[in-house]
Amino acid sequence: MEETPDGTPVGVDDPYDHAGRCDHLTDDGRCRYALERAGDDPGFAAQRRAADYACVAADPDAEWADCPHYRSTT
């Protein structure tokens, strides 16, 4: 069985192939995690702030897996 980067077992070869929109992605393409939870990961929040809070995974050349805080519960 494959595992996520955190070691959680999943029943598919690549869970990101089945992942949906990130729960932290705002309607205007910004990262809600960096906006609302900066204290949880100050380095990540500083990087997003320097990029006007742009979502890492919203970049067409990026993958959802490129974001350490990607979460999709839908």
Q: Where are the domains of the chain?
A: 2-66
- Predicted structure pTM score: 0.69
Cα–Cα distance measured from residue 15 to residue 36, given in angstroms and rounded to the nearest whole number: 26
Q: Could you give the maximum distance between any two Cα atoms of the chain, in Å?
A: 38
Question: pLDDT at position 65, please?
Answer: 78
- pLDDT per residue over 48-62, tens digit each? 999 999 998 888 888
Task: Give the whole-number percent of the chain exceeding pLDDT 70.
Answer: 80
